[in-house]
Amino acid sequence: MATKNEKATLVDEISALLKNASISIVSGYKDLSVADQQELRARIRETGATFRVVKNSLAIRAAGDAEMEGLGPMLAGQSAFTFGGEDVPSAARALRDFSDDHPSLDIRGAMFEGQVLDSTSVLRLASIPGRDQLNAELVWALDSQISEFVHVLDGLINGFVYALQGRVDQLGAGEAQGV
């Protein structure tokens, strides 16, 4: 059993994670084996997020300290937090994908930018493409526009060169005829 100081330290740590995370997702993890929990942690870690199981009474205190009391009603039964990194949708996507394979994991809700999100909103957030994919799509869109512009300029320059060459040929033919 943890001492009072250990519990206070844990509450402070969870409170700091809640304040600093881009998103804090609450999920239930009933009947997950240790191997499944390890797999879940690994998937979440790949996204730059952190999965943390916390005793509900301590989590409620930490949420209060972080001024996120809206998380309190989600903390019942076996609860865990996923603290998201820079790529917010990827953490939600990792949980959603894992819960598709393991129905005993339920996404209860989240705190995102001071707003409480229900499970449906978290699942919608999970459907947003990740930062890498969005960056790739942006680069592709910009590249295609630039490529089209270069082709138009190339056509104009080629047309101008052919017109000049035609005029040079015309003047050369005129001199050859003695004009």
Report pTM. 0.71
Residue 136, pLDDT score: 81
Residue 142, pLDDT score: 76
Encode pLDDT of 139-158 as tens digits.
887 777 777 777 777 888 88
Mean of pLDDT values over 55-64: 90
Residue 97, pLDDT score: 92
Indicate whether 74 pLDDT > 80.
yes
Q: What is the mean pLDDT of the chain?
A: 86
Residue 178, pLDDT score: 63
Encode pLDDT of 91-149 as tens digits.
999 999 999 988 888 999 999 988 899 999 999 988 888 777 778 878 887 777 777 77
Indicate whether 179 pLDDT > 70.
no
Mean of pLDDT values over 36-60: 91
Give 26's contacts (C-beta < 8 A, 6+ positions apart). 71, 74, 75, 79, 80, 81, 107, 108, 109, 110
| 16-20, 48-52, 60-64, 153-157: least confidently modelled range | 153-157
Domain 4-128 has CATH 3.30.70.1730: yes
